[in-house]
Amino acid sequence: MAQSTNDTIPTAIRLGCLWRLDELLSALDGLASALETKADEFDDIVKIGRTHLMDAVPLTLGDEFSAWAHQLDKDIERVSGTLPDLYELALGGTAVGTGLNTHPQFAEHAAAEISEITGLPFVPVPFTEPRPRRSFRRPGRL
């Protein structure tokens, strides 16, 4: 049984992302922690904040480092939030996502097999039945 590259390439990309995601999240967490440590260390160093290349208001270097750490914490949340979508595999979609000419249980079996091999909770993307063909002619015209 063959699969379309429209199914297999996105699946391979998702697997690659998931295999490295823990490493990325760990590195981001380590960087955020290091920035928080520096924020505490630099809490008494006052500097001039700048906005649009102009002096603005004084703040501490610790405030600046703390803001960077907060941004990384939010990035970690956003990256972690992609997991449910990354676990959806489009295998079995074939003809533009319809599942045409594919065994009805192929997607479920493929996701289960890949889950077994990887230990990750993959699920099939829910495919829709092909819609009836519509006419694109305007009423009153040939």
**Chain segment 59-115, per-residue pLDDT in tens:** 999 999 999 999 999 999 999 999 988 999 888 776 666 677 778 888 899 999 999
Q: Look at the chain and count its residues.
A: 142
**Mean pLDDT, rounded, for 11-21:** 92
**Mean pLDDT, rounded, for 53-63:** 87
Higher pLDDT, 63 or 138: 63
Instruction: Give the bridge partners for 50, in sequence order.
Output: 55
Q: What pLDDT is attached to residue 129?
A: 56
Domain segments of the chain as ranges: 22-82
Tokens of 51: 């906005």
pLDDT in tens, 99-134: 777 788 888 999 999 999 999 999 988 765 555 556
Instruction: Give the bridge partners for 123, in sequence order.
Output: 88
Please enumerate in sequence order all residues whose Cβ is within 8 A of that of 30, keeping only pairs 6 or more positions apart, or say none.
Answer: none
Q: What pLDDT is attached to residue 28?
A: 97
What's the CA dihedral at 112, 114, 119, 123 to 10 degrees?
-50
Q: What pLDDT is attached to residue 128?
A: 55
Rounded Cα distance, 74 and 36, in Å = 14
